[in-house]
Homo-oligomer: A and B are copies of this chain.
Amino acid sequence: MPVPSSPPASALFLREDEVRHGVELLFFGYTRLTKSIDDQLAKQGLGRAHHRALYFIARNPDLTVSQLLRALAITKQSLGRVLTELQRRGLIETRSGETDRRQKLLRLTPPGASLEAELFDALRTRLSQAYRRAGQDSVTGFWRVLEGLVPDADRTLLAELGNERRPG
């Protein structure tokens, strides 16, 4: 192993700055993207927690409560409050599972879908602009790094939620 005093092969030496830069970009990117829809949410009297639930239900119709719990990584109580409120407003609807009737399958109602679409539009505008600026190769790298950042247990879930495309 070469001594750390070799300037050109400075992978180890540069590691901290590279990592810190990534931490900062993640922080700024995530928080600013998140904040960008706060006003819209506030107009509806909803919070970020409601949006996160709406988002995942929109993305994956007939999601179960336990899947959503795993995705959001919060407690049943916290999620329960949010889902109750969304249902009370008629933004989501539920029905019991076919194979397992204990399960509750979550879906957006038309008004819920409409609201989610409106919120997503703001996200799409910002993120697709960032994609365009960076170019496609960069987008692939963006995905690869983030995929590697997600713990194995969650990566399975992520694949389920994002890629589950049922025939018909």
Where the two chains meet, the residues of A that have a C-beta atom closer than 8 Å to any C-beta of B are 3-4, 6-7, 9, 12-16, 18-33, 35, 52, 55, 59, 73, 120, 123-124, 126-151, 154, 158, 161-162
A23 contact from B23, B24, B123, Cβ within 8 A:
B123
Q: How far is the CB of A132 from chain B (nearest CB, A)?
A: 6
Q: Are A134 and B148 touching (Cβ within 8 A)?
A: yes
**Within the oligomer, what is the number of copies of this chain?**
2
A140 contact from B55, B127, B138, Cβ within 8 A:
B138
Chain B residues in 8 Å Cβ range of A22? 127, 131, 139, 142-143
Identify the closest chain B residue to A21 (Cβ): B162
Identify the closest chain B residue to A138 (Cβ): B141
Chain B residues in 8 Å Cβ range of A144? 133-135, 138, 141-142
Complex formed: what's the CA distance from A55 to B27 in Å? Answer: 11
Identify the closest chain B residue to A151 (Cβ): B32
Q: How far is the CB of A95 from chain B (nearest CB, A)?
A: 24
Q: Are A35 and B73 touching (Cβ within 8 A)?
A: yes
Chain B residues in 8 Å Cβ range of A30? 26-27, 29-30
Q: Are B147 and A13 touching (Cβ within 8 A)?
A: no
Chain B residues in 8 Å Cβ range of A23? 33, 55, 123, 127
